[in-house]
Amino acid sequence: MNSELSQFVSESFIGPLVFIIMCSILYVVVGLLLYRFIFSWVPEVLIKLIGAGGLIYLIIFISGRFDDVRVLVSRYSGQQMVIAFFVFFVLIAVIIGLLLSNPKPKSKKRTAKSSSSRSKTSKTIMPRKENKSDQEILNSSFDQLSGAEFERLLALYFRDQGYKVEEVGVGGNDGGVDLVIIDQRGEKTAIQAKCYADHNKIGVSVVRELVGAKRNHDCILSLLITTSDLTGPAKKEADQFKVEYWHGGLLDHKLRAWGKWQPDVNKRKNKVSTESLARAEIQTAQLQTAATKDVCSCGAKLVLRKSREGKQFYGCSTFPKCRVTRSM
């Protein structure tokens, strides 16, 4: 029975056909692995076109060597072919299962906890900042703005430049994109905004996140805006994937050239208020000093008196009970 099965497999189309199917499935699985872990930044449409073209070429290539495939298959018995086919599909099923499953369930819990803690802290800290009006934001420097307020500042800027602005990162769930701006031709640009201190530079991970996330919003271009700067590797990554970036100096220049962003106004107001407060304190001290001149240490009022030599001085009104005197 085994010899008859192997003879049938070798002399018919079944053996080569099974071989072609196994090669095609292996090609698809390897392609999915490469796309998931290496070429995830490539547009999905392009991946599908390349994958379909490669699969067609593979089938034509093997079919053109049909006799060689038949000779190769004829070396194995029918039982060996069935076992190999079964083992192959088990391995493929295991690989696909690993791809579709979530390998890090604990990280979700951690991220959920961290997001909940962030939301709690944002509830306690953010209300005062988010209540700022547009004018207050336009009069605030970068270090006086929260992340959400920094995004609102950029939205105001781009709207004045003639862009349609979609604020997709409201609430912190941006997925790598905070704003989507659309020009008059309908061309979309994904923007990631980072309001960081000068010493806190943008790393490579932020650039890669923006490159992958822009496809979710059908954007062609990408722009990374930060109040600080990018690290050296992050700049190389941005140049490689054609990500435009504005560092703190360039952003400051663009916003000041815009004319509506005036962070120095608050500084001048603070300076004026500080000076007026100092003047008020000096006047209060002077009034207190003047008031103490008319009052004796015993609490009675001081009155103007003359000595025997004719010199004027202040003396206690309760004299001779209190003999406190004070010169003019």
For the chain, the domains span 2-100, 132-258, 294-328
Contacts of 197 (CB under 8 A, 6+ apart): 143, 227, 228
DSSP string of 161-224?
Answer: TT-EEEETTGGG--TT-SEEEE-TT--EEEEEEE---TT--B-HHHHHHHHHHGGGGT-SEEEE
Average pLDDT (34-44) is: 77
pLDDT given at position 161: 92
What is the reported pLDDT for 300? Answer: 76
Whole-number Å distance between alpha carbons of 321 and 308: 20
What pLDDT score does 274 carry? 66
- Tell me the three state secondary structure of residue 303: strand
Q: How far apart are CA 281 and CA 174, in angstroms?
A: 49
Q: For residue 320, say if its preceding peptide bond is cis, omega within 30 degrees of 0.
A: yes
Out of 20-34, 44-58, 262-276, pick the least confident: 262-276
Helix (H, G, I), strand (E, B) or coil at 326: strand
Band of the pLDDT at 126, cuts 50, 70, 90?
very low
Between these two residues, 312 and 208, which has the higher pLDDT value? 208
User: Distance (Å, rounded) from C-alpha 145 to C-alpha 256?
Assistant: 16
Structure confidence at residue 173 (pLDDT): 62
Q: What is the reported pLDDT for 189?
A: 95
Strand order in the sheet with 179-182: 164-167, 179-182, 188-194, 221-226, 244-246
* CA 119 – CA 111 distance, rounded (Å): 12
Taking the C-alpha atoms of residue 41 and residue 206, their distance in angstroms, rounded to an integer, is 13
d(CA 199, CA 197): 6
225: DSSP letter: E
Q: Name 230's bridge partners.
A: 202
Q: Which residue has the higher pLDDT, 88 or 49?
A: 49
- Give residue 45's identity as a one-letter amino acid code: V
Q: Is the pLDDT of residue 328 over 70?
A: no
Q: Region 309-317: what's the mean pLDDT?
A: 77
Quickly state the pLDDT bin for 60 (edges 50, 70, 90): confident
The pLDDT score that the predictor gives to residue 264 is 76
Q: What's the confidence (pLDDT) of residue 109?
A: 44
Domain 132-258 has CATH 1.10.3720.10: no
For the chain, the average pLDDT equals 77
Residue 2 confidence (pLDDT):
46
Confidence at residue 292, expressed as pLDDT on a 0 to 100 scale: 57
Select the more confidently predicted residue: 269 or 27: 27
Q: What percent of the chain is predicted at pLDDT more than 90?
A: 29
Give pLDDT tens digits for 209-249: 999 899 888 998 999 999 999 999 999 999 999 999 999 99
Dist CA 20 CA 23 (whole Å)? 5
Query: What integer pLDDT is reported at residue 286 of this predicted model?
Result: 62
Measuring CA to CA, which residue among 192, 125, 182, 187 is closest to residue 154?
192
Q: Give the pLDDT of residue 202.
A: 94
DSSP class of residue 302 equals E
CA atoms within a 13 Å half-sphere pointing along the CA-CB vector of 254: 17
Q: What's the whole-model pTM score?
A: 0.46
Give the C-alpha separation, 57 to 77, whole Å.
29
